Amino acid sequence: MRRNKLVLIGNGMAGVGVIEQILKLNSDLFEITIIGSEPYPNYNRIQLSYVLEGSKTVDDIVLNDWNWYRENGIRLLTGTTVTGIDTDARQVLTDKGEAVAYDKLVIATGSKSFILPIPGADKEGVVGFRDIADCDRMLEAARQKTKAAVIGGGLLGLEAAKGLAKLGMEVTVVHLMNDLMERQLDPAASRMLQDELERQGLHFAMGKQTAEIMGDDHVTGLRFADGTELDTEFVVMAVGIKPNNDVARGETIEVNRGIVVDDYMRTTAEDVYAVGECCEHRGVCYGLVAPLFEQGQVLAKHLCGVETKPYEGTVLATKLKISGVDVFSAGEFIDKPELTIVKMQDDWRHTYKKVLLRDNRIVGGVLFGDVTQATQLQQWIKAGALMTADMHASIMGLAGEAAVTNAAELLADEDIVCGCNGVTKGQIIEAVRDQGLTTIDEVKGCTGACRSCGGCKPLVEQVMQSVLGDHFTGAAAQGICGCTTHSRDEVVAAIRDHKLMTTADVMAQLEWSNPEGCSKCRPALNYFLTMMWPREYVEEKESRFVNERLHANINKDGTYAVVPRIYGGVTTAEDLKRIADTAVKYGVKTVKITGGQRIDLLGIDKEDLPKVWEELDMPSGYAYAKALRTVKTCVGSAFCRFGTQDSMAMGQLLERKFERIDMPAKVKFAVNGCPRNCAEACTKDIGIVGNDGGWEIYVGGNGGIKPRLADLIAKVKTDEELIDISAAILQHYRETAKYLERTSDWVERIGLAAVAQAAVHDLENRKKLVERMEEALTRAADPWQKVIGSPEDKQALFETVKVAPRETAD
Please give the annotated binding residues for [4Fe-4S] cluster, written as ranges.
634, 640, 674, 678
Which residues make up each annotated binding site?
Answer: 634, 640, 674, 678
Cα separation, 784 vs 154, in Å, equals 52
**Amino acid occupying residue 41:** P
Polymer length of the chain = 810
- H or E, element range at 755: helix 752-756
Cα separation, 157 vs 204, in Å, equals 12
Q: What are the helix (H) ranges across 200-317?
A: 289-303
**Amino acid occupying residue 621:** G
Greatest Cα pair distance in the chain: 97
Cα separation, 655 vs 706, in Å, equals 25
Which residues make up each annotated binding site for siroheme?
Answer: 678
Cβ atoms of 521 and 570 closer than 8 Å: no
Describe the crossing of helices 573-585 and 609-616 by its angle, rounded to 10 degrees.
Answer: 150
Burial of 519 (0-12, 13-18, 19+ CB in 10 A): exposed
Cβ atoms of 274 and 265 closer than 8 Å: yes
3-state secondary structure of 568: helix
Q: How far apart are the first and last CA of the chain?
A: 52
Q: Is the dihedral of CA 245, 250, 256, 259 positive or negative?
A: negative
Q: Is the dihedral of CA 165, 171, 172, 175 positive or negative?
A: negative
**Amino acid occupying residue 287:** G
SS (H, E, C) 8-38: EECCCHHHHHHHHHHHHHCCCCEEEEEECCC
| Rg of the chain over all Cα atoms, to the nearest angstrom | 31
Q: Judging by DSSP bridges, how do beta strands 210-214 and 221-224 pair with one another?
A: antiparallel
Q: What are the helix (H) ranges across 337-473?
A: 374-383, 389-395, 425-435, 440-447, 457-468
Cα separation, 86 vs 420, in Å, equals 34
Burial of 574 (0-12, 13-18, 19+ CB in 10 A): exposed
How many helices (H) and strands (E) are present in the chain, helices listed first?
24, 38
Cβ atoms of 601 and 560 closer than 8 Å: no
Cβ atoms of 665 and 685 closer than 8 Å: no
Burial 528-539 (b: 16+ CB within 10 A, else e): bbbbbbbeebee
Cα separation, 424 vs 422, in Å, equals 6
Q: Judging by DSSP bridges, how do beta strands 82-86 and 628-633 pair with one another?
A: unpaired
- H or E, element range at 524: helix 521-532
Alpha carbon distances (Å) from 87 to 22, 273, 276, 736: 23, 12, 21, 51
